[in-house]
Amino acid sequence: MSSAASTLAIGHIGTGLEHVGDRFVAKDVNGWLQGRTMYGGASTFLAYSAIRKAIPDLPSLRAAQIGFVAPVGADVEIAVSVMRQGKNISQIQTDLYCEGTLAQRGMWIFGGARPANGSVTASKVAGLTPVEEREPIPTPAGQHFVQNLEMRYAEAKGGERPGVVSRWIRLKDRDGLDTMAELVLLGDALPPGSIRAMERSGPISSINWAFTLLGDKPATRDGWWLLESTSNHMAEGFDSETMRMWNADGVEVMRGLQSVAIFG
């Protein structure tokens, strides 16, 4: 892949992964960096895209556990291996390398639908203010992955809850993406809620991310998703976060947990 890859929509970077030997390769994914590493949702999306290219007949994604092992640069190689494929459930491992070093490891669960033995519907936000009525957030200057996003406030200014960050988010260029890939790409887009409890500015770093999908056919209106990250406990340089995602009608589509390192 040429250096022009950085100008492509992220969906086309995923579908354009080159198969070189036993790995999939992407180069110059510069538009998705944050500081010295790639935004975790983008590197996770590339791993997901590698799975879909390696094993295209897999059923729907149901859950994943992602370990952020080391910084991820703009050039990556991804190895895909099958841990187990049963009649209904497939467990797949991805290893993402940067400059020869393992930088991310993922364990993914794919499963087809089967006759239900009961049901529980996904939760819905009560009293949701439509995204169309929310104020846009100006895009900050500089080279950062948020340049690829449109954001709006999800709560009135001054009414933010302690330890919670909540935002409406939409990808500016969704070309080449299905909605499941969008959830993987955007589910980690918020900073942790713990930033509202930090006594001073300082670096933070995601350590891992585990998520489950609430259904196999996510859909929303005009590309908008509501994201929320809530600190469950922050002490001794570590933070536990619950991460949730809803569609534009307030129906929950994804829920996750994340461990975060707090520096400074």
Domain ranges for the chain, please list them: 1-113, 122-264
- For 231, the 3-state DSSP assignment is strand
pLDDT of residue 91: 98
pLDDT of residue 211: 98
CATH topology assigned to domain 1-113: Thiol Ester Dehydrase; Chain A (3.10.129)
Are 26 and 17 contacting, i.e. CB atoms less than 8 angstroms apart?
yes
**Structure-derived torsion over alpha carbons of residues 81, 83, 85, 86, reported in degrees to the nearest 10:** -170
pLDDT of residue 136: 96
pLDDT of residue 35: 84
Distance CA 234, CA 89 (A): 35
pLDDT of residue 95: 98
Task: For residue 111, give the nearest of 82, 79, 87, 81 by alpha carbon.
Answer: 87
The 8-class DSSP code of residue 216 comes to: S
Full pLDDT tens readout for the chain, 264 residues: 333 444 579 999 999 999 999 999 999 998 999 988 999 999 999 999 999 999 999 999 999 999 999 999 999 999 999 999 999 999 999 999 999 999 999 999 999 999 989 999 999 999 999 999 999 999 887 768 999 999 999 987 666 788 999 999 999 999 999 999 999 999 999 999 999 889 888 889 999 999 999 999 999 999 999 999 999 999 999 999 999 999 999 999 999 999 999 997
- Report CA 49 to chain centroid distance, whole Å: 13
pLDDT of residue 4: 40
pLDDT of residue 2: 38
The CA–CA distances, whole Å, from 162 to 196, 197, 231 equal 6, 7, 9
pLDDT of residue 1: 37
Domain 122-264: which CATH number of 3.30.420.40, 3.30.750.200, 3.40.50.720, 2.40.160.210: 2.40.160.210
Quick one: residue 16, left, alpha or beta (phi over 0 = left, psi -120 to 50 = alpha)? alpha
Q: What angle do CA 87, 91, 93 make, to 5 degrees?
A: 155
pLDDT of residue 143: 65
Q: Can you name the residues that pair with 28 across neighbouring β-strands?
A: none
